[in-house]
Amino acid sequence: MYEARILCCSLVAAALAAIAQPAYAQDAPAELAKLQSPRDVETIIEDYDEGRATFLESSARAESDDARDALQEEFIAKHSATIRAMIEIARAAPESEAGMQAALWVVTHCDADFQPHVEAARILLRRHARDRRMFDAYYHLDGFDPVYEKVLRSGCAAAMPGECRARAMFALADALVRRAAFKDAMDATPELDAQRKLKMGPAVVEFLDATNRDQDRLEATRLYHQVIDEFADIPYRDQTLGQIAADRLMPLEQTYPEIGGNAPRASGTDLSGQALDLLEFRGKVVVIVAWASWCGACCERIPYENKLVEQFKDADFVLLGINGDKNLDDALRAKDKYKIAFRSSRDEPSADVRIIDQFGVTTWPTTFVIDQDGVVRNKNLDGPELHAAIVRLLGAR
């Protein structure tokens, strides 16, 4: 079931990429103009859900890659057609019940910042921003187009029902933190700016340039505290909004080490029991990765981190881990399983000063890039952005 969900998500992304501007901008078929009732929208959704279920079942039984590819192409076409149909219904009757249902479906089934998603969000903002059913959309407004922030701020209005307002506050706080982190990443990898700007478009880039990441983080902190104070018991997945908001607050209220500040003078032992002192790597670019065997996202990154170790083995570079496993055997099994090519420190249960605390690690994985002088230059980079930051620091000497 998990693999099926992952497959469906990848297909949705492919379907959205296939919605080229000329095709999307075409006039809707004449019959769509007649689809004005909520029941019409429900019928389209039922047909889509049946098609999706059929696709997943057929893919699981497919005997060859060619057969699976054919099924994928068929489902991608259906997904794209459904998005177009829903947007046309929302356009034709934006104030109607059917129009709202159609726009909500697009927002919850289409990736943020794609044109259909942005247009659906605009329709909801203009016509249905104060409808209590909007809470279904809030967690899906995770792109950078200005309309998403406007929808979320509208949802934070005092007149909104409690749960809607809570979800809007929480989603807005997440959006502000995400935007600040994105701007951090842009600063860390200026060589990728042209690619980002081409992908996002000039209007979104101009909007991002006008925002202030420090103010975003301060407002996010205030919003998370407000959620905890007023709406802590509202369910969120398998926890509550209060619990998740408290977790989100930890890295925001952690003041050390900050970017531009000195890295902690951390020392301890590695997984083999050998002494490990960060100071011994002064003069090198150091990447520190906080990981644990129970953290799926951490383990997914290990192959790439091993590649970095190999690629920069002849440079003044080192990658070190901070392991978060309570049981040493769990860490050692993970080291063998993933063939981890870098040393990792580990806090002893009896340690008075934990390295995890010195680095303010509250989320997993967490990454720090430290320059040759022991100054923290970047946090939480991954993939090409992490690679680019390493290359830039190595080239600066």
- Tens of pLDDT, residues 48-66: 999 999 999 999 999 999 9
Tell me the per-residue pLDDT of 232-268, one tens digit each, with 9 for 90 and over.
999 988 899 999 999 888 778 765 577 888 998 888 8
Lowest mean pLDDT among 4-13, 220-229, 381-390: 4-13
3-state secondary structure (DSSP) of residue 375: strand
Per DSSP, which regions of the chain are E strands?
A: 235-236, 239-240, 267-270, 275-277, 285-291, 317-323, 344-346, 366-370, 376-379
Region for 253 from its dihedrals, namely left if φ exceeds 0, alpha if ψ lies in -120 to 50, beta otherwise: alpha
CA atoms within 13 A on the CB side of 220: 27
pTM of the predicted protein model: 0.62
The SS3 call for residue 318 is strand
Q: How many residues does the chain have?
A: 397
Cβ atoms of 71 and 104 closer than 8 Å: no
Buried b (16+ CB within 10 A) or exposed e, 23-42: ebeeeeeeebeebbeeebbe
Residues 344-388: pLDDT tens digits?
999 876 666 788 888 888 778 999 999 999 999 999 899 999 999
Residue 78 has pLDDT above 70, yes or no: yes
- Helix, strand, or coil (residue 102): helix
pLDDT score for 11: 40
Among the listed ranges 30-44, 126-140, 176-190, 273-287, which one has the minimum average pLDDT value? 30-44
Q: What is the mean pLDDT of residues 38-52?
A: 93
Give the C-alpha separation, 1 to 367, whole Å: 31
> 151 near 137, Cβ under 8 Å?
yes
**pLDDT tens track for 150-202:** 999 999 987 788 889 999 999 999 999 999 888 877 776 777 778 878 888 88
Domains for the chain: give ranges and CATH numbers.
2-252 (no CATH), 261-395 (3.40.30.10)
Burial (CB count <10 Å: 0-12, 13-18, 19+), residue 137: buried
Count the neighbouring beta carbons within 10 Å of the beta carbon of residue 6: 10
Q: What is the mean pLDDT of the chain?
A: 86
Q: What is the band of 28 on the pLDDT scale with cuts at 50, 70, 90? A: very low
Residue in this structure with the two tokens 């979320």, named with its chain if needed: 152
Pairing assessment for the beta strands 317-323 and 376-379 based on DSSP bridges? unpaired
